[in-house]
Amino acid sequence: PLVVGFETSCDETGVGVVRGRTLLADALATSVAEHERFGGVVPEIASRAHLEAMVPTVHRALAEAGVAASDVDAVAVTAGPGLTGALLVGLAAAKAYALALDVPLYGVNHLAAHVAVDELQHGRLAEPSLALLVSGGHSSLLLVPDLSREVTSLGRTVDDAAGEAFDKVARVLGLPFPGGPPIDRAAREGDPSAIAFPRGLTGPRDAPYDFSFSGLKTAVARWVEARQRAGEPVPVADVAASFQEAVADVLTAKAVRACRDHGVDHLVLGGGVAANSRLRALAEERCAAAGIVLRVPRPGLCTDNGAMVAALGSRLAEAGVEPSAPDLGADSSLPIDVVTP
């Protein structure tokens, strides 16, 4: 089916077009620059920006895909989790679109969509797969027996999300927001073993699949402050590389362990932090050693976009899943196990 997907859960206005598992267009507008001076996404600013960007972004997506609105078979939209006001803009647009074209509407879970997007690049997901979902607001290990119907959480962060830790550490280091990309770049010049930062929740009695990044973030901040107090220069590249190594180490170790414990030999990465070059390299190395088939979408598909929503919508339509009711609402804390509300 030809599916248009709408994504507005955070600061990206995304409209994607897919036919089956073929990506036809992925139009994106972002309000990231407007949030930079606040050091985080401001919900009211994001909502207004979505409103302004929505119509031009839809037009751009259809033009890029080379399709007419009348060709569209179904509409998909992120129903949650995310910022309520931001979600509502995408929902209003998607509902209006589905109604006007008289096609089914699929509300989708943003987190499941982060996993589904990989099918646009690497084809049908093996099921069951394990998914490591790491983004600005979430860090979870998911068991995915059927991405259209059944996703279960094995573990999650007990405090900060991995992306949040990148953003906070970047701030401490004086790097711009969002912090993932500049830390990734700075780390290339640094030594990942320069500083031994803590690996949270990796003790023998700790929950095997849960994550904790707040202790790591604090450890980095303390280390940097101590340097500054002593009047010594902060080795930004070494701190970035050592911090990034600690995150990648824990994430990949736990993902591989979860695969082994559950007898699953396919792992897929998703979410903005999956764009991280060290996480990708270490996951590749450890999966190869453990005999696990690893799939990682290209960086542009890892961060928020409309194509991921269209990808999940297309899958739901193909699987014969019941479309959403016309009164579909936004759910800012939609649980991960609800693929389509």
**Smallest separation, CB 93 to Mg ion (Å):** 18
Ligand-binding annotation for 180, yes or no, is yes
Closest residue by Cα to residue 40 from 132, 139, 161: 161
Amino acid type, 311: A
Q: Does 11 sit near Mg ion (CB under 5 A)?
A: yes
Q: Does 242 sit near ligand ATP (CB under 6 A)?
A: no
Q: Does 166 sit near ligand ATP (CB under 6 A)?
A: yes
Ligand-binding annotation for 110, yes or no, is yes
Degrees to nearest 5, angle at CA 151 with 145 and 152: 105
Q: Does 200 sit near ligand ATP (CB under 6 A)?
A: no
Contact with ligand ATP (CB under 6 A): which of 3, 6, 8, 9? Answer: 9
Q: Does 180 sit near ligand ATP (CB under 6 A)?
A: yes
Which ranges in the chain belong to alpha helices (H)?
Answer: 32-35, 43-65, 84-101, 110-116, 118-122, 162-172, 180-187, 214-229, 236-262, 277-290, 299-302, 306-318
Contact with ligand ATP (CB under 6 A): which of 80, 82, 90, 192? Answer: 82
Ligand-binding annotation for 109, yes or no, is no
- Which does residue 82 bind out of Fe ion, ligand ATP, Mg ion, none, counting CB within 5 to 8 angstroms by kind? ligand ATP
Q: Does 138 sit near ligand ATP (CB under 6 A)?
A: yes
Ligand-binding annotation for 144, yes or no, is no
Amino acid type, 271: G
Q: Does 35 sit near ligand ATP (CB under 6 A)?
A: no
**Smallest separation, CB 173 to ligand ATP (Å):** 13
Query: Can you tell me which residue has the tokens 């589904």?
Result: 116
- Closest to Mg ion by CB, 139 vs 242, is 139
- Which does residue 249 bind out of ligand ATP, Fe ion, Mg ion, none, counting CB within 5 to 8 angstroms by kind? none
**Smallest separation, CB 177 to ligand ATP (Å):** 8
The contacts of residue 312 (CB under 8 Å, 6+ apart) are: 5, 76, 106, 108, 109, 112, 113, 116, 117, 147, 339
Phi-psi region of 144 (alpha: psi -120 to 50; beta: other; left: phi over 0): beta
**Smallest separation, CB 65 to ligand ATP (Å):** 22
Instruction: Give yes or no for a contact between 308 and 109, defined as CB atoms under 8 angstroms apart.
Output: no
Closest residue by Cα to residue 104 from 74, 127, 125: 74
Contact with ligand ATP (CB under 6 A): which of 31, 212, 303, 314? Answer: 303
* Segment interacting with ligand ATP (CB under 6 A) among 115-123, 141-149, 210-218, 268-276: 268-276
Q: Does 271 sit near ligand ATP (CB under 6 A)?
A: yes
Q: Is 83 helix (H, G, I), strand (E, B) or coil?
A: coil
DSSP assignment of 155-190 equals: EEBSS--HHHHHHHHHHHTTPPSS-HHHHHHHHTTS
150-156: strand order across its sheet: 150-156, 139-146, 129-134, 266-270, 293-295
Q: Does 182 sit near ligand ATP (CB under 6 A)?
A: no
- List residues forming the annotated binding site: 110, 114, 133-137, 167, 180, 184, 276, 304
- List residues forming the annotated binding site for Fe cation: 110, 114, 304
Sites of contact with ligand ATP (CB under 6 A): 9-10, 82, 110, 135-138, 163, 166-167, 178-181, 184, 271-273, 275-276, 303-304
Sites of contact with Mg ion (CB under 5 A): 10-12
